[in-house]
Amino acid sequence: MRVLIVEDEMKMAALLLEGLREHGLAAEICSRGDEALLKLQAGEFDAAVLDIMLPGLDGIAITRKLRERGHTLPILMVSALGSVDERVSGIEAGADDYLAKPFAVKELIARLKSLGRRAMQMPQMASPQVLRLADLTLDLQRREARRGGELLHLSSKETLLLEVLLRHAGLICGRRLLLQEVWEYQFDQGSNLVDVFIRRLRVKLDVGAEVKLLHTVRGAGYVLKEGGV
């Protein structure tokens, strides 16, 4: 797994570099946001650890530009600014996960491996496997989702979230289930991670569509089905 560490605090960057390499991950450091964007666009990395406050281009802008251009690279955003608004801004820009400084290096590595595990898995079936609901399709081999034939530009985590919801189509998926299946968290960490990703996915799935597919069941969770709940 090749990871780009985008961090302008050299002591922190060196600590992360050493920790990742000790756990068998290939890592490289970049201290400027504009340079990091070029490296990440080249497609030579499997994941990125991205600080928010950077010279040249901030982490949120980097993430947004990558997602706008169709890159699904797993992004773990880190920042000393640990407010809820800061976390939400990073997630809404397209980051897959968020860690507030200070954090334990072993937690960062665990989250990175979780992000990269599914992204790095190669499909085992020779022929495409497709999940469907109404005019929504998800090609599991290509990792491509379409609604009404139109390609949906989803991040890797949004794609995985959609897959879980499609596999449970018509059934209510609680936050705990989604945290386990999508993020491999075994308990609710008290964040609004699921809600933010559901909101992002709903915009991409349902805005402008005559039939809404992604519904909230108050106090229970979410369900993907044709028609109301």
Residues 203 and 110 in one domain: no
Residues 6 and 111 in one domain: yes
Residue 146 CA to residue 138 CA, distance in Å, equals: 7
Residues 109 and 18 in one domain: yes
Question: Domain for residue 124, yes or no?
Answer: no
Decide the pairing of beta strands 75-79 and 47-51.
parallel
Task: Kindly give, in sequence order, each residue whose CB lies less than 8 Å from that of residue 110, ignoring residues fewer than 6 positions away.
Answer: none
Residue 25 CA to residue 16 CA, distance in Å, equals: 11
Boundary of a domain, candidates 100, 119, 138: 119
Question: Domain for residue 48, yes or no?
Answer: yes
Residue 201 CA to residue 217 CA, distance in Å, equals: 16
Structural element, H or E, at residue 221: strand 221-224
Residues 105 and 142 in one domain: no
Question: Domain for residue 63, yes or no?
Answer: yes
Boundary of a domain, candidates 74, 96, 119: 119
Q: What is the pLDDT of residue 120?
A: 56
Q: What is the pLDDT of residue 121?
A: 54
Which residue range is the domain that position 156 belongs to?
130-224
> pLDDT in tens for each of the 229 residues of the chain?
899 999 999 999 999 999 999 988 899 999 999 999 988 988 788 899 999 999 999 999 999 888 887 788 899 999 887 566 777 788 888 898 888 888 889 999 998 888 877 665 544 333 348 889 999 999 988 899 999 999 999 998 999 999 999 988 888 898 888 988 888 776 555 678 899 999 999 999 999 898 999 999 998 899 999 876 6
Boundary of a domain, candidates 84, 100, 119: 119
Residue 193 CA to residue 220 CA, distance in Å, equals: 16
Residues 108 and 167 in one domain: no
Q: Is 68 exposed, middle or buried (0-12, 13-18, 19+ CB in 10 A)?
A: exposed
For residue 28, what are its two tokens?
């490289």
Our CA angle for 144, 145, 149, nearest 5°, is: 110
Question: Domain for residue 125, yes or no?
Answer: no
Residues 86 and 165 in one domain: no
Contact status, residue 78 vs residue 102, Cβ threshold 8 Å:
no
Q: The domain spanning residue 13 has which CATH number?
A: 3.40.50.2300
CA distances (Å), origin 183, targets 4, 111, 123: 20, 8, 20
Our CA angle for 16, 1, 35, nearest 5°, is: 60
Residue 51 CA to residue 152 CA, distance in Å, equals: 27
Q: The domain spanning residue 199 has which CATH number?
A: 1.10.10.10
**CA dihedral defined by 116, 84, 68, 26, rounded to 10 degrees?**
-30
* Ramachandran area for residue 74 (φ above 0: left; ψ -120 to 50: alpha; else beta): beta
Residues 110 and 213 in one domain: no
Q: How many domains does the chain have?
A: 2
Question: Domain for residue 180, yes or no?
Answer: yes
The pTM assigned to this predicted structure is 0.62
Residues 14 and 81 in one domain: yes
Question: Domain for residue 88, yes or no?
Answer: yes
Q: Which amino acid is at 92?
A: E
